[in-house]
Structure 1
Amino acid sequence: MNKDYSMTVEYSPAYELIVSLYTFIYNRKLKTIDLKEQWIKETKANIPANFINELEDERWEVLHRIVLLISQCDEKETIDGFLTWFERLSAGEIYERLAPWVDTISTELGMIRDNTVEILHKWNEYYFKNIDPAILPYLKQDAKNKREKVTSYQPIDLIEEATNGIRIEQSESLNRLILIPQFHCYPVTILDYFNGIATCLYPAWNLAEFDQTKEMIKLMQCIGDETRLRILMYVAKKPRTLIDIHKHLKLAKSTIHHHIAQLRRVGVIRSHFIGSSTPAFYSLRKKFITEFTDEFKELFES
């Protein structure tokens, strides 16, 4: 029997510093995030052209392994605290901190550290320290809210609530999961598996900006598509893999993947992960049916 994994909820502005830089560099690949061309345009307007070119030329790990380092930092309450700590780490210390979790580690850790610290300092100066001042306090509060639920929720259920439909199943290869709120990649969840540990940067949304009517319209537009409705009817019978759905609907896997992503985005189906950042199978979120009915009624009773 697979053992249970433990879960911790963390917050640090350093996590959001990394996520925002990741979002900026890889925005062309992140097609489903809310921050679009206007954000890129406005951000570029405040960044020197030579730094933009420097970012476009970089090929180093900008997010995933640095997240592991942040989780081990005791001085991550501020950006400067984390960057000072990171800068002081020797190449040997970085290796020791990553070796338990990562199979392949570069032999040029000192150079990677220096380049990474320099770029993060610049990104903080040109962009991050000028972000909306409401973002970081909201992320901190969201993490606090989730942390208060840790004792009353099973880890898998709290993760599903935080991510709006992702289920991290137990597996022999997973001992611990770190749950971290993030803003810049909303509504995408950034999930990474390492040796024995997984990091889940979930999208935190501001309920003060929640518009029930708009959310209902998004939901109805999503499930109003014939293909997506057929997928829902198929997974409602029992959990299905991508291959199952592909064979059933006789559509290209890329097309199926696109429709599943849309259904996941509005919280209609679950994605189940077992020891890998690729979903193992999908299932219907049955509570969606009840919530949809209740919310639909509220539109006419308010």
Structure 2
Amino acid sequence: MYSIKIEWYATYECVISLYAYLHEKEQKYARLGTAWKKETALMLPAAFAKELEDERWEVLHRLVLLIAQSPAKESVEGFLAWLEQIPAGEIYERLAPWVDTIPLNLGELRDHSLSLLARWNEHYFAKLDPALLERLQKSADELAGKAADVSPPELVDEATQGIWIEPMADLQQVVLIPQYHCAPASVLDFHRGLATCLYPVADADRRQADPLLALLPVTQCLADEKRLLLLQYLAQKPGTLTELQQHVGLAKSTVHHHITALRRAGLIRAHYAGSTAISAYSLRESGIERLPTLLREFLHESRK
């Protein structure tokens, strides 16, 4: 059985926030919505915003690994200063045990990442409400408090509301990191013997939990006939994407859209077995049983 490591530093959120901005089209169902990118672009110098329009920055998982190993990860500025001074050869040595393919131009990639992150931190991330970051830290602390009482797969499932990482002989550790900017999605990556999972904290921007924010994705899922049929199928047995597609008779891309919505609403589990490819889906009983509680919390809140 793999072990669990739970940690949070602002440096992780700085990286994931820039990633969310650059990959906004892939985040169309994100909690922040499309308006966030437009509002954020106005905070940036015009030349920087223009530069980011064509930037894809596909090195997120490598930077997460470097943050995890950095002795200066407590602050964004400290991490960037550390990354700037270490030679490309040391970056290679730090990544080699985990990453199969490492680009030869590590020095150039490092310098480019430093430039992007330093400017992003100055013009956007450093101006975030500190309370948001404190709530992410609180989420990590609360999750750590539960670690002794549940199994590692159950803890991952609870943090992500539906990601189930199967124990594998070559999987040694899963690192759980709370994040806000890509919520309700989780950002999951597997490396040699290691998986990193940036799990969503969708209400980190609020002083207290919003019952509607938790209830709405569930009720929206249940209002669709095809999604109900998918839930009914999974109530009988786990299924692959192909099996689910055959059951409802829709295009695979359409079924994938429905499945993603059900997973992010916490109604089903996506099972991973050593890679980012989902091996199967199953019903998440705890998500189903939670519906009456969510409804009662919302109705009670609405009377205030």
After TM superposition, the score normalised by the length of structure 1 is: 0.93
Cα distance, 1:210 vs. partner? 2.7
Separation (CA, whole Å) in 1 of partners of 2:44 and 2:112: 18
Shift in CA distance, 95/153, structure 1 to aligned 2, threshold 3 Å: same
Hey, what does 1:235 align to over in structure 2? 234
Alignment match, 1:281: 280
> 1:132, CA displacement in angstroms?
1.9
**How big is the shift at 1:300?**
6.5
Contact 2:19 2:57 in 1 (8 A): no
Equivalent residue, structure 2, for 1:194:
191
Contact 2:28 2:34 in 1 (8 A): no
The number of residue pairs the alignment matches comes to: 299
Aligned position for 1:146: 143
Q: Given that residues 180 and 202 in structure 2 are in contact (C-alpha distance below 8 angstroms), is that contact kept between their aligned partners in structure 1?
A: yes
Deviation at 1:59, TM superposition (A): 4.5
Match of 1:94 among 91, 98, 103: 91
Q: Structure 1: 5+ residue runs without aligned partners? A: none
Q: Residue type of the partner of 1:192?
A: D
User: Offset of 1:121 from its aligned partner?
Assistant: 0.6
* Structure 1 pair 49–230 and aligned structure 2 pair: CA distance change class (3 A): same
Matched residue of 1:145: which SS?
Answer: helix
The equivalent of 1:58 in structure 2 is 55
| Structure 1 residue 289: Cα displacement | 3.1
Please name the residue that 1:108 is paired with.
105
Against the structure 1 CA distance between its residues 114 and 213, is the aligned structure 2 distance closer, same or farther, given a 3 Å change threshold?
closer
The residue matched to 1:152 in structure 2 has which SS?
coil
1:51/1:242 CA distance change after superposition, 3 Å: same
Q: Contact conserved, 1:268 with 1:288, CA < 8 A, in 2? A: yes
For 1:9, the equivalent position in structure 2 comes to 6
Amino acid aligned to 1:216: L
> What does residue range 1-302 of structure 1 map to in structure 2 within 5 Å?
4-206=1-203, 208-213=207-212, 215-296=214-295
Amino acid paired to 2:257: H
Alpha-carbon distance between aligned partners in 1 of 2:192 and 2:21, rounded to the nearest angstrom = 28
8 Å Cα contact 2:20/2:182 also seen in 1: yes
The residue identity in structure 1 corresponding to 2:92 is Y
Q: Distance in 1 between matches of 2:27 and 2:277?
A: 16
Q: State how far apart, in whole Å, the 1-side matches of 2:216 and 2:105 are.
A: 51
Q: Distance in 2 between matches of 1:271 and 1:172?
A: 20
Change (3 A) 1:126 1:238: same
CA apart distance, 1:53: 2.8
Q: Does the CA contact (< 8 Å) of 2:8 and 2:136 recur in 1? A: yes
With over 3 angstroms needed to count, the CA separation of the structure-2 counterparts of 1:30 and 1:7, relative to structure 1, is same
Range moving further from structure 2, 170-179 or 50-59: 50-59
State the SS of the aligned residue for 1:33: coil
Query: How many Å apart are 1:288 and its aligned residue?
Result: 2.6
Amino acid at match of 1:109: L
CA distance change for structure 1 residues 182 and 272 in 2, over 3 Å: closer, same or farther?
same
Structure 1 300/182 Cα, relative in aligned 2: closer, same or farther at 3 Å?
Answer: closer
- Cα shift readout 1:139-191 (whole Å, capped 9, x = no counterpart): 11111111222222211111111101111111233211110000101111000
Kept after mapping to 2: 8 A contact 1:22/1:62: no
> Can you list the C-alpha shifts for 1:195-241, whole angstroms capped at 9, x where unaligned?
11111000013374433255434422311210000000001001111
Q: Residue 181 of structure 1 aligns to a residue in which SS?
A: strand
Partner letter of residue 277 of structure 1? T
Instruction: Give me the whole-angstrom Cα distance separating, in 2, the residues matched to 1:131 and 1:298.
Output: 29
1:235 alignment partner AA: L
The one-letter code of the counterpart of 2:161 is N
| Change beyond 3 A, Cα 1:77–1:245 | same
User: Contact 2:23 / 2:56 at 8 angstroms: preserved in 1?
Assistant: no
Question: Residue 179 of structure 1 contacts residue 200 of structure 1 at CA under 8 Å; is this kept in 2?
Answer: yes
Matched-pair contact (CA < 8 Å) for 1:185–1:203: yes
Closer/same/farther in 2, CA of residues 106 and 215 from structure 1, 3 Å limit: closer
Structure 1's 95 and 284: CA in aligned 2 closer, same or farther, altered over 3 A?
A: same
Q: Does the aligned pair in 2 maintain the 1:16–1:184 contact within 8 Å?
A: yes
Equivalent residues of 1:18, 1:62 under 8 A apart: no
Alpha carbons of 1:239 and 1:107: their partners in 2 closer, same or farther (altered >3 Å)? same
